[in-house]
Every structure is written in structure tokens, then in C-alpha cells.
Amino acid sequence: MVATLSLALCACFSPLDYKGSQGTISLTLPGEGSAARAAVSPPNWRYKLEYSGPDSRKITKTAKAGETVSLRVEPGTWIVKVSALRPIYNENLQMTVYPEVADGSDTINVKPGIKNLVEIPMAITDMDYIEEYLSAQRDGGSTTNPVRLPLNTILYEGTWGYICLKIEDSKKFVDLDLSRCQEAAGGALDESGVFNPRKYDSLNYSPFAPDGMAKIVRLTLPEDATIIEGGVGGGATFDDFSNLQHVNTGNGIEEIRQNAFVDMGLTSVTFGDNVTTIGNLAFRSNPLTSVAIPADVTSIGSSAFWGCDLTSVTFRGAVVLIDSVAFDGDLAAKYLIGGAGTYTRPSIISTTWTRKP
């Protein structure tokens, strides 16, 4: 059995919960018999709870899987961090140690007399745990039910290759969330904020890393990433992601370079609010049916969305530079006249777009 990577955190306040102005933060940890979203973890797991509150107050507690922990605290802003600790017997030390395998944190505004229900999403921090976690899940047998896999690590070349290797070894299709991953000099997410999935230490991880990428159905990019690297030789940056259906750029991405997702199978894309540039051919020939262009986008390159199955496009702001063939049909010309809004066409063979009132 294995812990799911989320837990329900309830900050509940009532006349029975506090003395004077205090409130109670109550956490139910994943485990058998718990109500934490039916989470299950082995009974020998432990959890470390760290509370940081007003006036630099810090409190640390430990708990067992499935346990409910309640703590009376003063009103104000509290940061709660939860770390999942997995027991491993160390032969050298001849004792059981508890390394961290996952963590999560959230900020809670404690107000007496108010009941809050807060969830703390957790992410795997020990990459050696990926295969075991995935293999224990019922989902992931097909592209229609991928296993959510949130990670929190530094994306060195070798680390990214190892992640893809472990995904391949599990034989599971995944919904990969890299939002909490950090940059590394020369890494898949480098020190300049460029995310490039082709940087996976090919000497040690080829062909296993590309096979693992083919198991990724949904992808959320790191919040620390600002640029999606462009494709080379006419191919897509994400060429090896042959089953990728959805991408979320996250809130960090500002620039999507040329050919990033050209000729792939994307059915949906979620742009973060900070995207400003969508390069030439970036999403050309994908089965996208609708897309929303963020308000801060100022440039859309040639054929960026040409050949897609789009019948609805929403522009949330003023695109300064939009190539005349960025989209099929007369959409670019209609947008330059009509400005922000939603534009539709009756079918993918139609070349005439209309701005909705």
C-alpha cells in the first residue's frame, strides 16, 4: 500500500475549539481508516508537522499514518509544512532511519470562530520512490486514466533522465506535475529558466528516457521556468512525448519558442498569465479545438496555430504583433479589427471567423 500525495487539512474553529482568542488547526494524515480523501499509507510511516506562525513562533510535531493532530494556536498567518517519512533500515547504522519521500505546505489565516477546510497538496521529493508509487496505483493503465505524479526536486540533466526512466519502468501513463521543481546549471530546467526536455543525460538514460516521456499524457511545467525551448531540425521540442494530450505552462512561462509543440497530439493547453510570446509554428497541426490567449501576449508568430482543429479562440488582451497566418482563415485579420473577445467558426474547414457579441 502507498500514500496518495494529498491530505485533507482542516483548520476548524468553534466555541469548543479555542480558549480565549486561540484557534485549533486540525490535520488528518493519510492512512488506513482516515478520512483524508481515502488516502492510504503503510502504518509504519511517520509524518513531521512544522508550524510557523506570528512573531516567528515555530512548533514541530510528529504523527503516525492515519492520525489526527490538533494544535491550539494564536490568530494570524500560519504556514504548515507536512513531510512524509518512510522507514528504511540502515545496515551501516544498524537502525531504522526515516528519510523524507514527500512534502507539502500551505498558508492558513487563523481566525477564531471560523471553520476552514484546507488541503495541502504533497509532492514526491525522493525520486527513488517514483516507480514504487506508480506501480502501486490502480490507474495509469491507459492514456484515459493517467496517474497524477507531482514532484519536488532540482531538475539536473541526470535527475530528469532518471525521472523518465522510473516512469518507463513503472509502465504507467502519468499526469506529470513539475510545478515545484527547481532550476540547475545546465539542467533540463537551466539557470536561465529555459525548460528543455531533451536535456536528460543521454549517455546514461537513452533510450529509456524517451520511452518514459512517451508515458506522459498531461504535463504541468515548473513555476521557475520562463522559456520553453524551441524545436530543432523542424521537429518539436517535445517530440518524444508521443502521448501528450494536455500541457499547462504554469505561471512562470513568458516565451514559447518556435516548434515547441509542432505536429503533436495536444487536445488542450492551459496558458499561465505571464505568457507574452508564442513563436512560429509553436502549436501548428495539433487537434486543439479551442484556446484562450492570455492578456499579456504581445506576439504570435507565423503558423503558431495553423492546421489545428480550432473552432473557438479567445483573445483576453491586445496582441501587438500577430502574423497574418498565425491561425487558419481570416482570424488574424478579424482580430485586428475586432480586438479582444471570442471568435468562432462553424467548422475546421471554414476560413471565416466571427467575433461573438
Q: What does each C-alpha distance from 252 to 186, 231, 283 come to in angstroms?
A: 19, 20, 19
Tell me the average pLDDT across 11-27.
Answer: 60
For residue 75, give the nearest of 119, 121, 17 by alpha carbon.
17
Give pairs for 308-314: CB < 8 Å, separation 24+: 308/283, 308/284, 309/348, 310/345, 310/348, 311/344, 311/345, 311/346, 311/347, 311/348, 312/342, 312/343, 312/344, 313/342, 313/343, 313/344, 313/353, 314/290, 314/341, 314/342, 314/343
Residue with cell 528516457: 209
What integer pLDDT is reported at residue 116 of this predicted model?
59
User: Which amino acid makes up residue 162?
Assistant: Y
Q: How far apart, in whole angstroms, are the C-alpha atoms of residue 160 and residue 168?
A: 13
Domain boundaries, the chain: 6-122, 126-229+244-251
Q: How far apart, in whole angstroms, are the C-alpha atoms of residue 278 and residue 198?
A: 20
Q: How far apart, in whole angstroms, are the C-alpha atoms of residue 242 and residue 264?
A: 7
Residue 353 has pLDDT above 60, yes or no: yes
Residues whose CB falls within 8 Å of the CB of residue 57, separated by 6 or more in sequence, listed in order:
51, 74
pLDDT tens digits along 75-114: 999 999 999 998 888 888 888 888 899 999 989 888 886 6
CATH code of the domain made up of 6-122: 2.60.40.10
Residue 30 has pLDDT above 80, yes or no: no
Return the higher-pLDDT residue of 226 and 14. Answer: 226
